[in-house]
Amino acid sequence: MMLATLTDIAQQFGLTFLYGEKKAFNILADYTDPNLIVFYHEGYVSGQIAEDQQGAWDRTYNVRLWLLLKNTGSNDMPPDRLPRFENLEPLMYRILSKISQKYSVIGPVSFSEGIEQADQGLDGFRFVANVKEKEPVAYCE
**Sorting pLDDT into bands at 50, 70 and 90, what band is 8?**
very high
Looking at domain 2-133, does it have CATH number 1.10.3470? no
Would you kindly state where each structural domain of the chain is located, as residue ranges?
2-133
Q: Which residue has the higher pLDDT, 132 or 124?
A: 132
Closest CA to 64 of 85, 29, 40: 40
Full-model pTM: 0.81
Q: Half-sphere exposure of residue 7, counting CA atoms within 13 Å on the CB side? A: 6
β-pair partners for 20: 42, 43
Instruction: Evaluate if residue 117 carries a pLDDT over 70.
Output: no
Q: pLDDT tens across 68-112, in order? A: 887 766 555 666 667 777 788 899 999 999 999 988 888 889 988
